[in-house]
Amino acid sequence: MRKVLAALFLVLIVAAPTWAQDDRKVGVNFGAGWAFPTSGFKDSFNTGWNGGLGLTFKVKPEIGIQAEYMYDWMGGPDKTIGLSPTPFAVGTGSGILESNHHMHTGTFNIVYTPMAATQRDRMIGGYLLAGPGVYHRTVQITSPSVGYTTFCDPYWYVCYPTLVEVDRIVGDRSSTDFGMNFGGGITFGHDAKFYVEMRYHYVWGPEVSKVNPLSTEPTTSSSTSASYFPLTFGFRW
């Protein structure tokens, strides 16, 4: 999935200048900014950054279809864990887990630009957009600690309520999921416009089961569905 999204990104870079000259039937945008996790997602990861590049094919002056590649990176706060020297001993020490979350995203949106025919003559304009997306999320977990611990965080794709080796928790875990996004932006300028944009993204993630081989109780699971707000600054023309 990452290779497909990266290929789309390269196509947009190479083709954008040529397509954008086609009597304004194709619009180009690129920008970067911050990414703010929300709800339970923000307990596992901090505010990060985002960047993106897109093309908008104009069906009508007011209506366009946008294909866009976006990349988001969010670091996770260090999590303190209790450590045991063996899987049966009482905890005698502590350690830390470090994490980060990055995401390759392809979105496909309907873009509505009110009074598009006259926006070129005005200094300030705006637009709205909404549509589905494909989100490839990867969580990287590292730790200098050794020993046995218990840890459960669905947004890290990890849930061990019984003692396991720290090495079973560290590593990379990823998931490709569907989601949706909607939002809008304000533009400043005439031909090449500076824009400020805010969107809401929601990603439907898989269920993460609690791994507890010592329990005879039914296995429970937690959702990894997540939401976040990117605030982006960039240019479009």
36 vs 201: CA distance, rounded Å: 10
Say if CB 183 and CB 227 are below 8 A apart: no
Q: pLDDT of 14-51, one tens digit each? A: 555 544 444 568 999 999 999 999 999 999 999 999 99
Q: State phi, psi for 19 to the nearest 5 degrees.
A: -65, -35
Give the separation between CA 134 and CA 136, rounded to whole angstroms. 7
CB 196 within 8 A of CB 184: no
Q: pLDDT tens digit string along 133-178?
A: 999 999 999 999 999 999 999 999 999 988 899 999 999 999 999 9
Q: What is the CATH number of domain 2-236?
A: 2.40.160.20
In DSSP terms, 68 is beta-bridged to 54, 107
- Selection from 22, 30, 24, 28 nearest residue 61 by Cα: 24
Give the helix/strand (H/E) hosting 227: strand 226-236
- Residue corresponding to tokens 């977990």: 141
Can you give the pLDDT at residue 86? 85
pTM recorded for the entire structure: 0.85
Cβ(148)–Cβ(164) under 8 Å?
Answer: yes
